[in-house]
Each structure stands twice: as C-alpha cells, then as structure tokens.
Structure 1
Amino acid sequence: MAAGAQSELSGLSSQISAVADALSRYANDVDTVQQQQRAIETRQDDTTTALTRARRTLEGLKSKKDTDPSDIYRTQGHIEALNWQMRGFSGQLAALASQRSAADNAAILTLTGTGTRGALAGILPDRDGGVSRAVTPTVTLQQLSALSATELAALFALYPDLAEQLLADEDPNAVTQWWASLSTGTQTALVFGASALIGSLGGVSAVARAAANRLNAAKRLDEIDARVAELRGTPTSGGFSTPAYGYDAGTFDAEISRLLAERGYLQKAVEGTVQLYLYDPSTRSIIEMIGTPGPQTTAINTYVPGTFTSAFSFYGGGVQQVGTWLQSTDPSQVTFVWKQGLFPGEDPETGDVQILPRIIEANFSFWADYTGSHLADFQAEMRAATTSSVGASHNAIGYSWGLAAVTSSESPQTHYDHVVSLSGAGMPSGWEPQHGTVYSHYAYRDALTMAQQSGQVWSGNNPGTSSAYEQHHYATPEDVNVVIPPILNPFAGEGAKVVVPLTVVQATTDPLGNHELIASNDVRNWSALGDVLKGLRQ
C-alpha cells in the first residue's frame, strides 16, 4: 500500500476512534440524565396525586360547619409542604436540563475538535485546539453543501444564529441555481442537517422547504411538550399566584391552551397532512402550501386572508378553506395560504376578534403597503423556486383586507395573471390595473359591502364598483333593501328643499355570516367557488 494511502487511512481510523469515544461518553451522560429525570418525574407524579387529595380534603373540611379549625390549619400546612416539594422537583428538573445542555455542548465541542472535525475543518474557528463559539463564522452555501447531515447538525447546534445570518445574505435566484446544482443526496443532507435554514431559505424548492419544516415542526413539538409539562407541574396554590412563580392558574391555562392549539396544527405537519412552506412564530408568519408544484400544475395561487388573521386562523383550518376546495376539485391547482408579519386587528396571543375599535386598522394604507412589499418579495422567491411548473399561471386571491395587500404588491416586477377579490376591501390610492392581468370580484351582500356604500372604505376605491373588475354578485335569502327617506329643509325659501336625497342601502340581515361565507367551502358557496375556479382556468 502506498505511503500516502496508509497515512490517510491511519488518520481516518484515528478520527473514527475519537468520534466513537465522544459518542460513547455522550450516550452515558444522556442515559444518566434520563434515569434521574424519570425518578424525579415519578416522585413528582406521586406528590401531585397527594396534593390533589389534600386539596379535596381541605374543601371537604371547609364545607362542614363543625370542623375543628386546627384540622384546616394542619391540612393547609400539608398542602404548603407538598407545594414546596413540587417546587423542589421543578428545580431539580431545571438542573438536569442544564446538565443535559452541558453534555450536548461537550459532545459538540469534542466532535468539532481538531481531531474529529472532518469537513468542518476550515469552517470552525480554532481556540486552543478546540472551537470558538464567541463569533459565528462566515459560511457560504457552497461550504455547507460539502458537509454531511451530521456535520451540518453539529454546526447549526454550535451556532444557532448561523441560519439567520445566511437568510439575510442570500439572493433567491442565486439560491435556486445553487440548489439545482446539488445532487439529491446533498439536498437530502441539507434538509436533515440544516432544517432551520432550508425551511426558510428563499429559492430552495417548495417541496424541500416543506420537508425541512416537517422536521422543524417535530422539534417544536418537543419544546411544546416540555413547556406544557413544566406548566402543569408548577404549583399554583389552588389558583392563586405564588411568590415562586408569580402566575396564577388562569395564566397557566391560557398559555397551555395556546400551546396545545399550536401543537395540534404542527402534529399535522409532522404527519404530512399539512405542508409548511414557512413557519416562523417570531415574526407572526405562516405560509401553508396546499398541493405540490410540479409539471402537472396549471395554476399557482397565493391566497391572502383578511383582517384579524392570526396563527389561530391556521390552527383551526379557517383560512385554508378556499385553497383546499380548489385543490380537491382540481388537483392541478396549488395554493399558498400566505401570512407574513402582523395583520390588521390581529391578536397574536389569543386569536380573539375585537371588531371595535380594531376594524379601522383595515383602512390604513401604510399597513397594506408594508404587507404588500413582503408579498412581492414572496412572489419573487416562490416563482424562482417553482421552475418545475413552467407553464402555470400565477394568481392572487385576496379576501377582504387581503385584496388591499395584493393590489399594493403589484408592480411590473410582481405581475399576476389573475387577481381574485373575495369581498375585497379596496385598492390603494392611485391604483391602476396592470396590463395583462384579469381582475374578478366575487361577493355576497355583507358587512363590508354595506360599509362600502358610504364611500369611506378605502376612499371608495372598491372592487365591487371598479370597472377594472369582472363582477360576480350572489343573492341570499337574507338580502334586504333598506330605504332611507330624504331629509328636507322645510324652511327653504321656495318650499321644502331636499338636503339629503332618498337612499336605498343594499343590505342583509346576516352581514358577518355572509362575509365569512364567500371565503368558505360551505356547500352554499360552491357556486361562487366554481365561478372562481372557472376564471382561474381561463
């Protein structure tokens, strides 16, 4: 055997041995932590049962008129002692979490040391023979593509802000070219090892992003489960705040409810029944992909929901109804249900809708301009990444306020083949239809169409009265015409003078229900949805 080959094999053997030793130590450390955790959790469960029994005993004692006060005091003391035990368990679990984190960090530092670094050599900065974590290294996509899934996972665990750094620097078109140049094996390694980056990287194929976000969702489920367990294991003294935590049972219940709602949605992503093109709670952003872009795709639609939209709107499936109906009726239709950033009227903490006074936010032009700029950026990156659907049309569907964001995003660079208004609110001042774009408006009589008759919604620049839009108006049994008599001035010099003429308001007795109906897959709305699909196919 040549001396060079012998040296290379010797070095490889040494590297494998060092990695094996590091992994063995790490496995032992993790096993120790898990055994201690199970023991603490068993004692925690026993104490929780005892605490529940003690509280029931206290309630029974208080309900009896002849109870000896000393029995109540004794039981209260027992409850407080159990509460302190629970606090102790929480502290012990927190210490174990720190111990596990230390084991993780030690493993990472060892696996990225000079003896085990492998392809990471040249990327990780040295510090006394180890790795410096003080400064995130500058890394290129080309360098990442040379790493294995394990090496990628170690790199992003060591530098959690590396993904954010790369996301800020990369151009979607350049990313598309880079991604297309990679082998399937390299793409797979990046999805598995750098899912935090790939799940949000503009220019990466939509299918790969959905796969990466499936892994990110699984990680988030672990975080949610840990937090819910912590909340449920935290004593609240029967619902009253405690000095140790400063929360009460109501606060805990509200957070648990939010977390479980998120968990239910992300579980669907893990199972593959929901495809997430983007999931970033820190920026209030979710983009769900309904269908899969490919050569068979004839239309790629971006659906922008309306006022009050929050993450909870996705959790419950409300904003996906139109896209789901289109795709189930015509599988060649792919829809991205789009939300990036805070929407008008949104309550990100509870998802509650407070119509007054927050409905006025839907009339602010700056909000539509801001959201429209993000929508234009999304169009650029999404179109760069869906090159497999070369012949597909690119359309935008704006529901209610969502139309204002859609029309604010339009420019020569952001051109739609078809813009669909589902009871759209309005267009920005100075808006003009784009050459080559088909505009269509679909609506029932509802709260918005009634308000638009005042001329105050988007200064009267509304799709229902715009000559640029094909008009599709649908009647319901709740439709009524409200006649407002003229207002006269009886003191006018030459007899009564009409100050305000007779007005006929086209109204409905179900204004909110009809507004929601146009964006639903309710059987009563199938006719309207069929017209929308017919228009998208043209």
Structure 2
Amino acid sequence: MIADPTAGDPRSIRSVAQRLQQRSSGIRSASNEVRRQAEVVTDGEWKAKNKTSFAAAAAEVGGSGERIASHVDRAATVLIAYATRIEQIQSEALTIKAAQERNHDDLTANARAVEKLRESVADDASVRMLGLSTVAAGLQVSKVALEQSWQNLVARRRAADAEAAAKLGESEVIGAFATSAAAITGMTDEQLLSFLSGLRPEEIVAIAGNTALADRLRKVDDPRAVSQWWSALGGADGKGSRDAHSAVQEAFVAAFPAVVGNLNGVAYWARDSANRITLKSALAAAKQRVQALEAQRNGPGWSPALESRLADATKYRDQLQNFDAGRRKHYDLNREGVRQLTSLTLGPPPLGAISIGDLDTAANATYVVPGMGTTLQDSTRLLLAAANLRNAQSLFTTDDTAVVAWIGYETPGPISDGDPSVLYDGKAHKGAPLLSAELEGYRASVGPDTKLNVVAHSYGTTMSSIAVSQSPDLGVNSYVALGSAGIPIDVPNAASLHADHVYAGTGDEWVAPGGRIGSGRNDPDSFGFGAEHLDVGPGDGHEGVNAHDPLRHDDDENQGSWGYFDEGTNSLLNTAEATTR
C-alpha cells in the first residue's frame, strides 16, 4: 500500500476508467448485434440442422457480452470513486504539508529569537523570554497535531488503496471466480463441481489454465458425478455432441484441455476436442526441443549427457508424431467412423487412446489392450488392428461399433531388449487402475445399455484381467485373451473377470507360452480356468496365427506369418464374433 498520501495521478486513473467505459459500450453494442442476428435466424427461413444450436449459442454469447460489459462498468465505477478519494486526500495532504512548513519556519524563528534574547541585558528580557517560551510550546503542540493529522491521512490513503483493490477483486468486477486457491483445494468433489456449475463461459475462459483449479478437477474420481455435472452443463443438449453443445462446455474444453481430455465421465466428443488441443501444443513443443538440441550438437559444450537428452527428446517426439499420425491416417473401413482421441497424458512416457467409431453413440464398444513393447510410437499399427477388428465385426452385427486402441499404460519393454519386466506383475498392477478408471468412465458417460468388450493381447491380458476383476460393475459383455502372457494367480478363474463371456486362444507361437512359463502365471485357455476356447488356428479357408505380434502378415518377407489381428485369420474373425454376441 502507498505510504505517501500525495502519490498517484487521479487524472490518469479517470482516464483509465473512461477507456473502460468506452470498451463497455463497444462490448454492449456488439452483444446487442449478436442478439439481433440470433433473432433474425430464429424468425427467418434458414432450415439448417444447426439452426437451433446456432441461435442458442448466439443468445449465450450476447448474454455473456452483456455480463462482461457490466463487469467492466463496475471496474470503471470503482476507479472513478478511487480517483475522487485520492484527489481529496491529496488536497488535504497539501494543506497539511503547507501548515507543517509554516510551523517549521515559526519554530526556527522562535529558536533564533530565544538565542538572541539570551545575550540581551535589557530589563524586560525575562518577560520577553517567557513570552517566546509560551509561543514555542504552542508551536510544538501544533507540530504534534499536524504530524498526527498526516498519519491519519496516511491511514486513510492505505484504506482507500485497500478498498479499491478489494472492490476490483469482487465478483461484480471479475465474475464468479473470486475464490482463492486454498478454498478450491479444500473443496470436496461435490462442492467443486457445484462451484464450477455456477461459472459462466466468459469466467471460465478468463481463468484458463488456473493450476489450482486444474489440479483439483483432475482429482475428481467419481465418473458418475462427473457425467451428471457435464450433462447439466449442456442444458437442453445434455452431454452434447460435436455439433450441438453448450457454450459452457466449449469453454471448459478450451480452458482446461489437458484435464477435460482425460476426465472420466466427460462426453467423448469433448475429450477428443480437448486432446487435439493438447496434442497440437505438445507436439510443437517436442519438435522445438529436438531442433534446439540438434542445433547444439557437436558444438562447444556438447557432451554425452546432451546426446542422451537428444535421444530421449527424439523418442518422445516420435511417439507423439505417431499418435498424431494415427488420428490422421486413412484406414479402409467397411463402415465410416469418426476418429476420437479419447485420452492423452504427456508423461513421459506419453500415453493415449484413439477410437475408431463414436463412443458417445456406438451400441457396441471394444477396448483393444496391447502388451509387451507397445508405446505411442505403435499407434498407427494398433489402430490398424482396431480397424481390422471393426471391419470384421460388421460381418456379425448391424449395430454401430467403436473400437479403441488403448495405449493407456506403460507396457513392459521387449524381453529381447533385456527387459525382464514382462515376467513380473508390477506394470500390470500399475496399469490396472488406469484401465478400470477408463472403463468406469465409459459406463458413466454412455450408460448401462451398450455392449462393452475388452480384447487383450500378450501382457495386456495380464494387466486387463486385474482391472476387470477389480471392477465387478462394468457390465463387460465379452473378455477376449489373445496370446496371453498369463493371468495372475490372484485372478483364479474366468468368473473372476465378471464378464458375460470369456474367451482365450493362443496361436502356434512360442512367446506367449514362454511368458506364462517364465512368470508362473495361469493360462486362460487351460481347462481349469474356465474360459471358452477361441480358435486362432487355420481352417475354413482362414489362416492360423503363427506369430505373437498383433499384426505380422505382409506381401513381402512375412507372407507366411500371421498375427492375431491380421485380416484373413480365424483369430480376427472369431474375436469379432465374440465381441458382437
């Protein structure tokens, strides 16, 4: 706070207030024009399917503009009142300063007269000395009074500063978000969602990226509560869609993309939009890091540590690039399906998932869970496997289907690279809660009436079996284990998976059996486990799996090799049938 009551320029403060009033007038005029256009569209002949959504959005924009103008007006009013108070305080300060200067001059003159009188031998010297002492005492009293008046003025100035700052921080000026980080952190999930429900679009945009709010919202772990909150934000549009949703939902996507994109219970169109924003920004930053390090390479100060950092940065960039390529790449689909980025966490390592098909509307959803050695750099390959499965599903059902390539956990590295973690359950136990939360979010968002399937491969069966066994209310239709690296002993049988149907099959390959033997985990295709055998061998004009990979066959050196999701295999066909029962 200012300790000098004369500081500041009231004219400049009034000038700022005047500019705010001009801006408020401009905002209000623009808002009225938007409202007018909305009325024209509503009353006009425009028949486009988005007419209602446009009119609603335009009305919301107009209302937001009016609210913003009111906030700006209030700020201008506060500044004008502040300038008036400062002006009054400054005027009084000048008066007190002048009085203090006169008092100082009078005290100085009195002291000189006293000093001169001490040398006098006049008969009335003592009488005159008494008079000067009386005057000096009065001047000292005035000095103390003036100093007290000055301190009172300092206090009034500090109070004026504090009051103006407080009023500029009120909700009437900055909107509803006049809430401290400590208050947000201390909120329960219910309180937080209720608070967020009261925010208007312009207020949400104004607090974009607020770390306290983002961190707290990220910790909300009840997908049903999130789903209800998100649907309530949509008003008449409910949870919304890409073409029809509320301005508030749009504002949350834009303001907190890294949170909304992974918040279980939020509609998938919104998660997709949010994750595209995050991916674009993260990929650009990753490319810049690599370019910056490459520019330093072999220059002064280059070291093995920087070489290692460049290798890590390049690997990270390549993973994000392949994930981005996965959303762009064309796949031959029997039925068209939108591409949705359903999750993206930047890590490292970065993790994410892409759906082929609309999870918000599909009657049948299948999560493909990969195993050993899979990273985001394999996104395009896993999406091809997902596309093959979705195409094969169309042979058995006319329902809309969605297949998710879910690289949402850190998989074990290839054992051929010297990484033995595939033989242990550590990464499975770390990944299982992530998959459970994802599937619970799906159920909360779309409801109980759709078919939900899990198709897991390799170590993905180890991890996903833990996930579904710990979430009995998912309503899984079919759980399919392909080339399993083994089911942990704490998942004793098929019934523990809480699925209507459980299938398992291993091809003519040695990697999956080696993983089961080396780890001591159970074979889900064994008689004692209780799964139904899924035929992945040759027969009926279809090829049999003879490689551990999800995809192996090509027209070059791998003409005779077939993975679990290769077109033309019994494995793919039977998995498709199992997930459409």
- What TM bracket, shorter-length normalisation? 0.5 to 0.7
- CA shift for structure 1 position 276: 1.6
Q: 1:495-510 maps to which residues of 2 (within 5 A)?
A: none
- Partner of residue 529, structure 1: 572
- CA shift for structure 1 position 472: 0.8
- Partner of residue 266, structure 2: 204
- Partner of residue 114, structure 1: 169
SS in 1 for 2:211: coil
- Partner of residue 394, structure 1: 452
- Partner of residue 17, structure 2: none
- Partner of residue 407, structure 1: 465
> Matched residue pairs, number?
383
* CA deviation map 1:151-200 (0-9, x unaligned): 3243133x334312211134211111111112332222222222222112
Task: Tell me if 1:178 matches 2:229.
Answer: yes
Task: Tell me if 1:324 matches 2:387.
Answer: yes
- Partner of residue 215, structure 2: 164
Q: 1:113-262 maps to which residues of 2 (within 5 A)?
A: 114=169, 118=173, 120-125=175-180, 140-157=192-209, 159-182=210-233, 183=235, 184-185=245-246, 186-232=248-294, 234-236=295-297, 239=298, 242-243=300-301, 252=310, 255-256=313-314, 258-262=316-320
AA of the residue aligned to 1:372: A
Q: Structure 1: which 5+ runs fail to align?
A: 1-5, 21-109, 126-131, 346-352, 477-506
CA distance in 1, matches of 2:409, 2:550: 27
- CA shift for structure 1 position 433: 1.6
- CA shift for structure 1 position 362: 1.9
Task: Tell me if 1:461 matches 2:522.
Answer: yes
Preserved contact between residue 214 and residue 259 of structure 2 (Cα < 8 Å): yes
* CA deviation map 1:467-523 (0-9, x unaligned): 4222313149xxxxxxxxxxxxxxxxxxxxxxxxxxxxxx99x75568856656533
Higher Cα Rg, which structure: 2
- Bigger shift: 441-450 or 197-206? 441-450
Aligned pair in 2 of structure 1 residues 441, 311: CA closer, same or farther (>3 Å)?
Answer: same
Preserved contact between residue 463 and residue 469 of structure 1 (Cα < 8 Å): no
Once superposed, what is the RMSD of the aligned Cα atoms? 4.0
CA distance in 2, matches of 1:339, 1:458: 23
Preserved contact between residue 224 and residue 263 of structure 1 (Cα < 8 Å): no
Identify which of 313, 332, 337 aligns with 2:405.
Answer: 337
Aligned pair in 2 of structure 1 residues 355, 247: CA closer, same or farther (>3 Å)?
Answer: closer
Aligned pair in 2 of structure 1 residues 341, 181: CA closer, same or farther (>3 Å)?
Answer: same
Aligned pair in 2 of structure 1 residues 370, 516: CA closer, same or farther (>3 Å)?
Answer: farther
Q: Structure 2: which 5+ runs fail to align?
A: 1-24, 29-65, 77-164, 236-244, 330-336, 554-561
Preserved contact between residue 340 and residue 355 of structure 2 (Cα < 8 Å): yes
- CA shift for structure 1 position 441: 2.2
Preserved contact between residue 369 and residue 457 of structure 2 (Cα < 8 Å): yes
Aligned pair in 2 of structure 1 residues 224, 145: CA closer, same or farther (>3 Å)?
Answer: farther
SS in 2 for 1:293: coil
Preserved contact between residue 322 and residue 519 of structure 1 (Cα < 8 Å): no
- Bigger shift: 362-371 or 176-185? 362-371
Q: TM-score, normalised by structure 1?
A: 0.61
- CA shift for structure 1 position 213: 1.0
Identify which of 375, 384, 387 aligns with 1:310.
Answer: 375
- CA shift for structure 1 position 416: 2.1
- CA shift for structure 1 position 122: 4.7
Q: TM-score, normalised by structure 2?
A: 0.57
- CA shift for structure 1 position 399: 0.2
- CA shift for structure 1 position 369: 3.2
Aligned pair in 2 of structure 1 residues 188, 365: CA closer, same or farther (>3 Å)?
Answer: same
Preserved contact between residue 425 and residue 463 of structure 1 (Cα < 8 Å): no
AA of the residue aligned to 2:301: P
Aligned pair in 2 of structure 1 residues 114, 324: CA closer, same or farther (>3 Å)?
Answer: same
Aligned pair in 2 of structure 1 residues 224, 419: CA closer, same or farther (>3 Å)?
Answer: same
AA of the residue aligned to 1:292: D
Aligned pair in 2 of structure 1 residues 460, 404: CA closer, same or farther (>3 Å)?
Answer: closer
SS in 1 for 2:281: helix
- CA shift for structure 1 position 210: 0.9
Aligned pair in 2 of structure 1 residues 133, 519: CA closer, same or farther (>3 Å)?
Answer: farther
CA distance in 1, matches of 2:386, 2:531: 24
Aligned pair in 2 of structure 1 residues 400, 244: CA closer, same or farther (>3 Å)?
Answer: closer
- CA shift for structure 1 position 420: 0.8
Preserved contact between residue 254 and residue 274 of structure 2 (Cα < 8 Å): yes
- Partner of residue 372, structure 1: 432
SS in 1 for 2:479: strand
- Partner of residue 48, structure 1: none
SS in 1 for 2:486: coil
Preserved contact between residue 396 and residue 416 of structure 1 (Cα < 8 Å): yes
Preserved contact between residue 287 and residue 337 of structure 1 (Cα < 8 Å): yes
* CA deviation map 1:392-428 (0-9, x unaligned): 2111111011111122222433452211111112212
Aligned pair in 2 of structure 1 residues 153, 267: CA closer, same or farther (>3 Å)?
Answer: farther
Sequence identity (%):
19
SS in 2 for 1:444: coil
Task: Tell me if 1:277 matches 2:339.
Answer: no
- Partner of residue 482, structure 1: none
- CA shift for structure 1 position 446: 0.8
- CA shift for structure 1 position 311: 2.3
* CA deviation map 1:130-165 (0-9, x unaligned): xx89997868233334434453243133x3343122
Aligned pair in 2 of structure 1 residues 224, 472: CA closer, same or farther (>3 Å)?
Answer: same
CA distance in 1, matches of 2:67, 2:401: 54
Preserved contact between residue 445 and residue 475 of structure 1 (Cα < 8 Å): no
AA of the residue aligned to 1:221: L
Q: Greater strand percent: which structure?
A: 1
Aligned pair in 2 of structure 1 residues 310, 146: CA closer, same or farther (>3 Å)?
Answer: same
